[in-house]
Amino acid sequence: DEDDDDEAITVDSLGAQGRTALMRACGAGHMECVTFLLGKGASVTKADKAGRTALHWAAIAGHMEAVRILLALPAVDLTVATESGMTALHAAVSAKNANIISLLATSCKEKSEALSLSEEEQATRLMEFFGAKNSDDKTAWDLAEATKDKDVCTALKDLGDPQSQNSSCAIM
């Protein structure tokens, strides 16, 4: 007996909190699942009820390989923010993960260069990337200063976060 009310389960079906299997796999670092789901056409742009994408989940959990794979996909937008204004960069800073911060910033620079943007347009894009504010009006640098994590502050400074360049942060 087939029940006509049953919906087909797809690669992008939503589970608890509106999360897809790809979001869960990225958050858990299950790389075989991530690769499988992407191969089956899983959406990297879908967001859960709070607005988090697979990239947010990978950054929050600190799964470098998941972040790397996602960043290689053209559809992934580094500037997507959650309902609370959190970008993947905010997530990586809050998780005190300097390596993910570096991956995200490097990807932003590379994507800007690949678009053949002028130097001014590239600088504007980086300003927008680093300058994004969450719902508490905090940038990644503001969060980094609050964590007092030297590696995170150093990574942001080394990667060109404009706010960090003007800071006299005692951590540095």
Q: How large is the average pLDDT for residues 126-153? A: 93
**Of residues 59 and 148, which shows the higher confidence score?**
59
Q: Where are the alpha helices (DSSP H) in the chain?
A: 21-28, 31-39, 54-61, 64-71, 88-94, 98-114, 119-131, 140-147, 150-158, 162-165
> Could you report the per-residue pLDDT of 62-79, keeping only the tens digit for each?
999 999 999 999 999 999
pLDDT exceeds 80 at position 131: yes
